[in-house]
Amino acid sequence: MTRLTTSSTFLLSLIVVCSFLSINASPTQSYERAVTVTNTSKAGLAWPNGRTVDITQFTHTGKVSWYYTWSPDPVARTDLEFVPMLWGSNQADEFNSTIDGLISDLGITSVLGMNEPQQPGQSNLTPEQGVDLWKTYIEPLKSRGLRLGSPAPSSADSGKTWLQDFLNICNGTCTVDFIALHWYYIDADNFINYVEDFHETFQRPIWVTEWDCQNFANANQQCSYNDVVSFLNTTQSWMDETDYVERYSWFGAMRNLQGVNPDNGLMDSKGEINNLGGQYIGDPNPQPGGRNAALSLNPSLWLLPATFVATAIAGLWC
């Protein structure tokens, strides 16, 4: 049985930008009503909360079927399928020491490769280093019946190039069953085109393991809550209807989005599922106007380099 360690949850939960927060409530604003999404089992949770938040509040509709934690550490027992990740080289020993227990105790079926490997603020690997890690820790799991997910690049242009170089160096010796990717911007059509391009390029099923309506290129041009509702409606419905998209997980299911537009949050500041969270899990009675009650960041500060997670997700747009 594995345990959740402080070091593993550190990656997306340590940096709290409290000094930059301001209240941003609009109780009289009229919001678009969320559509009812198809009840499939593709939806998952990118979960940095450990056991501090009740994950089961997202499970009552059956829409969410799986989760990951940017680590090999699951949360407390849940009916959701856990998918471990080898985040990077600094997590290799922990991954190696826990994977046997995950297979025997939890019956895991898939693993995820390294997180945004082309980014200095993330796993920061050359394609050659990525191949070495893959062949040492991930490729051997194929013989144990697991499906292997690619390293997940950021949506910077360098991400696709890194993944192409990685596969070229593998030269057919790395088993990649599906492609994992991240995407951040504010246009649903752009998102769909991006995913389509990855599928056409790599000819494998797709897992979108991070995405939301966030503009890292221009801090002053962000999605309103109404924009987020519309963006989520369009992109989630498209993925539910697209056969080659196997799974997806929105960013984010957390109390503080740590540098990302807080209107994308699926829970409030108390860790309770909000109306956007209800929309995401296919709640049959979504409430319009149920804005995230968490504190909001001043938009002019969303690109501060001190915000570790913003830097990680944005991929520096290089």
Look at phi and psi of residue 38 and say left if phi exceeds 0, alpha if psi is from -120 to 50, else beta.
Answer: beta
Percent of the chain with pLDDT over 70: 76
Contact predicate 112/86, CB 8 Å: yes
Q: Which amino acid is at 188?
A: A
**Angle at which helices 157-170 and 188-202 cross, to 10°:** 10
Cβ atoms of 101 and 2 within 8 Å: the answer is yes
User: Quick check: bond before 277 cis, omega within 30?
Assistant: no
Q: Does residue 239 register a pLDDT over 50? A: yes
The residues pairing with 213 across neighbouring beta strands, listed in sequence order, are 185
> pTM for the complete prediction?
0.80
Q: Which has more confidence, 223 or 33?
A: 223
pLDDT of 138: 99
Q: Residue 50: CB partners within 8 Å, gap ≥ 6?
A: 4, 9, 13, 69, 73, 75
**pLDDT tens-digit series, residues 2-38:** 333 434 433 443 333 333 333 333 333 333 334 444 4
pLDDT tens digits, 249-278? 999 999 999 889 999 999 999 999 999 999
Domain ranges of the chain: 6-12+35-317
Three-state DSSP state, 280: helix
Report the pLDDT value the prediction gives residue 284, as an integer from 0 to 100.
62
pLDDT of residue 188: 98
Angle at 16 between CA 5 and CA 224, to 5 degrees: 120
CATH for 6-12+35-317? Answer: 3.20.20
pLDDT on residue 291: 52
Question: How many Cβ atoms sit within 10 Å of the Cβ of residue 311?
Answer: 20
Which of 139, 147, 208, 207 is CA-nearest to residue 170? 139
Q: CB count, 10 Å around CB of 199?
A: 17
The distance of Cα 103 from the centroid of its chain, to the nearest Å, equals 22
Confidence band for 39, pLDDT divided at 50, 70 and 90: very low
Give the model confidence (pLDDT) of 116-169 as tens digits: 999 998 999 999 999 999 999 999 999 999 999 999 999 999 999 999 999 999
pLDDT digits (tens, 9 = 90+) for 67-119: 999 999 999 778 899 999 999 999 999 999 999 999 999 999 999 999 999 99
Residues 245, 143: Cα–Cα separation, whole Å: 24
